[in-house]
C-alpha cells in the first residue's frame, strides 16, 4: 500500500491510498481517497481503459463515442454483464451517460442527475469531467461534442442501448453542427471488456412459471386482452421489449437482473401468433 496524491473529477486536493483490489477474479488498481470533506471514496484508475478504447475509436474512425447506461431493453436496472458505462468510467450510479472524445486532451465526460452528484464526484478520476445534468449552464451531450469537435466528425454509439426519441434528438442536434451519429448494433466497449478483464458472464438463468395464485390471471387471458386492444387500435401486431411487460404478459419470471424477477427476452404478439 502506497500513500499518494490523486485527482478527482472536480478536485485535485484529495489524498489517498493506492491498493490492488480483487473484483471477482480480476485484480485492479483503485484509490482509497480521503477528501477535504472527511469522507473516504473508492476511485478506479480509468487511464488504461481509455487509452485502449481510444485506439478502438481511431480504428473505427470515431472522433467521439457515447456510452449510455441502458441495456437493449432500456431497463431501469441492468445485469452486471451490461454495465458498460460503469466499466469505462468507474462511476457505479444507476443513471448516467458517458462520452469519450478521441483525443486525450479533449477529455471524457459523464452526465448524471442530482441524485448522483456527490457519488460521481467521489468515484470519477481525473480523466473525467462531471456534467450536472438538468442544471442551468450544463451543455447537452450534442452541445458539448459540437463545441469540442469540428464539422465532419463521426460520433459512434450502440443504437440498441438508446431509445428512439433520444437517438433522434442526438442525431438532429449533431447534424446541425455538420456531424454524423453513426448507427451501430454493437458497442465498442465490448471489444475491451471481456471475461479476461473481469466481465461477468452473460445472464442465462432458468425461467420459471409465476403461479396463477400470484399472477391473478392466466397468461392466455392476458394475451386475448392485448389482442382486443390491438384490434381496437387497428394494429396488426406488437413487439414487446420491456422486460417487466414480457414477464407480466406470459406469467414468467427469472433472475437475469439482480434484485429483479426478470429475464432477458422479447415477445411478439399478433392476432394469431404469440412468441
Q: Considering only the top CATH level, what class is 45-197? A: alpha beta
How far is it, in rounded angstroms, from Cα 222 to Cα 269?
Answer: 11
Residue 13 pLDDT greater than 90, yes or no: no
Q: Identify the residue whose cell numbers are 452486471.
A: 80
22 pLDDT band, cuts 50/70/90, is: very low
pTM of the shown model: 0.83
Share of the chain above pLDDT 90, in %: 81
All cell numbers assigned to 59 = 480504428
Length of the chain (residues) = 275
User: φ, ψ for residue 224 (rounded to 5)?
Assistant: -65, -35
What is the H or E stretch that residue 55 is in? helix 47-59
Whole-number Å distance between alpha carbons of 59 and 45: 24
Q: How many CA atoms, within 13 angstroms, populate the side-chain half-sphere of residue 170?
A: 26
Name the band, by pLDDT with cuts 50, 70 and 90, for residue 8. Answer: low
State the pLDDT at residue 262: 97
Question: What pLDDT, in 10s, does the model give residues 72-116?
Answer: 999 989 999 999 999 999 999 999 999 999 998 889 999 999 999
Q: What are the φ/ψ torsions at residue 76 (nearest 5 degrees)?
A: -70, -40
Domain spans of the chain, in order of start: 45-197, 208-270
Q: Looking at domain 208-270, which CATH architecture does it have?
A: 3-Layer(aba) Sandwich (3.40)
Q: Reply yes or no on whether the pLDDT at 34 is more than 60.
A: no
Give a three-class secondary structure readout of 129-187. EEEECCCCCCCCHHHHHHHHCCCCCEEEEEHHHCCHHHHHHHHHHHHHCCCEEEEECCC
Q: Is the confidence at residue 39, as pLDDT, over 50? A: no
Closest CA to 84 of 206, 240, 246, 197: 197
Q: What are phi and psi of 156, to 5 degrees?
A: -100, 155
Long-range Cβ contacts of 86-90 (<8 Å, 24+ apart): 87/49, 87/189, 87/193, 87/199, 88/46, 88/49, 88/50, 88/53, 88/189, 88/193, 89/46, 89/124, 89/128, 90/43, 90/44, 90/46, 90/123, 90/124, 90/125, 90/128
Confirm whether 45-197 and 208-270 share one CATH topology.
yes
Q: pLDDT category, 192, cuts 50, 70, 90? A: very high
Is there a contact between 124 and 108 (Cβ–Cβ < 8 Å)?
A: no
Amino acid at each position: 500500500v502506497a500513500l499518494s496524491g490523486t485527482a478527482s473529477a472536480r478536485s485535485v486536493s484529495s489524498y489517498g491510498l493506492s491498493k490492488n483490489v480483487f473484483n471477482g477474479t480480476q485484480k485492479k488498481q483503485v484509490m482509497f481517497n480521503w477528501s477535504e470533506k472527511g469522507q473516504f471514496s473508492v476511485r478506479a484508475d480509468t487511464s488504461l481503459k481509455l487509452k485502449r478504447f481510444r485506439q478502438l475509436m481511431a480504428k473505427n474512425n470515431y472522433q467521439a463515442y457515447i456510452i449510455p447506461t441502458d441495456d437493449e431493453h432500456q431497463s431501469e436496472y441492468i445485469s452486471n454483464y451490461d454495465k458498460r458505462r460503469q466499466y469505462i468510467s468507474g462511476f457505479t450510479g444507476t443513471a448516467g451517460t458517458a462520452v469519450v472524445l478521441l483525443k486525450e486532451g479533449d477529455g471524457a465526460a459523464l452526465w448524471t442527475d442530482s441524485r448522483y452528484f456527490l457519488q460521481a464526484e467521489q468515484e470519477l478520476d481525473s480523466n473525467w469531467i462531471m456534467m450536472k445534468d438538468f442544471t442551468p449552464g450544463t451543455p447537452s451531450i450534442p452541445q458539448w461534442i459540437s463545441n469540442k469537435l469540428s464539422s465532419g466528425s463521426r460520433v459512434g454509439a450502440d443504437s440498441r442501448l438508446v431509445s428512439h426519441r433520444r437517438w433522434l434528438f442526438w442525431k438532429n442536434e449533431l447534424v446541425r453542427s455538420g456531424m454524423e451519429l453513426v448507427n451501430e448494433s454493437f458497442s465498442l466497449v465490448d471489444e475491451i471488456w471481456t471475461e479476461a478483464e473481469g466481465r461477468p458472464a452473460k445472464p442465462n438463468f432458468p425461467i420459471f412459471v409465476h403461479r396463477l395464485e400470484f399472477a391473478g390471471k392466466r397468461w392466455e387471458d392476458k394475451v386475448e386482452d392485448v389482442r382486443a386492444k390491438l384490434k381496437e387500435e387497428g394494429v396488426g401486431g406488437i413487439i414487446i421489449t420491456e422486460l417487466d411487460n414480457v414477464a407480466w404478459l406470459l406469467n414468467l419470471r427469472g433472475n437475469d437482473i439482480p434484485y429483479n424477477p426478470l429475464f432477458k427476452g422479447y415477445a411478439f404478439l399478433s392476432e394469431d401468433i404469440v412468441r
